[in-house]
Amino acid sequence: MSILLEVCVDNPEGLVAAIKGGADRIELCSALDLGGLTPTPGLIGQAAVSPTAVYAMIRPRAGNFIFNEADIDAMLREIDIVRANGLAGVVLGANLTSGELDHTTLERLIRQCGGLGITLHRAFDLVPDLADAIDLAVELGFERILTSGRALTSPQGIDELEQIFDLARGRIKIMPGSGVNISNAGILLDRIPFSEIHSSCSVSRPIVSESARSLGFETTSQKQTCPDLVRALKDYCLNR
């Protein structure tokens, strides 16, 4: 059985690269260096004509996933924009100060998602109790959980990823993400029978303008989706 490959992108060039490389699904964001924020209206519009299914991140600001009423209002409006543009789904999550998933906020957001697919993002990696969080994700109707096993990267979290997969018992898809690439995907897939994986398939991009960098407009750690890396990981997934 082949493995579905989701590729996260945060700019027009990345969107083109993911499609060209053969990604099965795209997670559309802005600011991946901040963990991914809601994509701009222009990028959403470009993704609307994509031949590949696109799920848009719904996260109105950087930082934690403890959202106030103003944040939630923005997220509800962002969901409406995604639906109006005909994208396939959204990626979202919310926590309480305890780290538990915020049932009330998630329920409000999901009610707004009628007709859209829904992925629970790595807000899941902050929860204190894996079993309770999985049960809630199933109850709320999420299709999948994107997780690194509560570690910085999925390879580092492989023990907990195995536990999460077992706790899910096939009720919801578990998709490993963060640090997944062609060199370590086999380590994850040899141990855990995932049906989907998530990767940026990116390479470091050199600084184009020292002047822009000196003023803080360009960071030293920029990355860009590479169609060749997408294609290589896709081919690996197809031949599992």
* Domains of the chain, each with CATH number or no CATH: 4-238 (3.20.20.380)
Distance CA 137, CA 229 (A): 31
Is residue 25 scored above 80 in pLDDT? yes
Q: What are 126-129's contacts with CB under 8 Å, separation 24+? A: 126/65, 126/95, 126/99, 126/150, 127/95, 127/99, 127/100, 127/101, 128/98, 128/99, 128/100, 129/100
Query: CA nearest 208: which of 194, 222, 187?
Result: 222
Specify the pLDDT at position 97: 98
Structure tokens at 10: 């945060």
Distance CA 18, CA 20 (A): 6
The answer to whether residues 112 and 140 touch, using CB atoms and an 8 Å cutoff, is no
Q: For the chain, give the number of residues.
A: 240
pLDDT digits (tens, 9 = 90+) for 192-239: 999 999 999 999 876 666 776 666 666 666 789 999 999 999 999 999
pLDDT digits (tens, 9 = 90+) for 151-198: 999 999 999 999 999 999 999 999 999 999 999 999 999 999 999 999
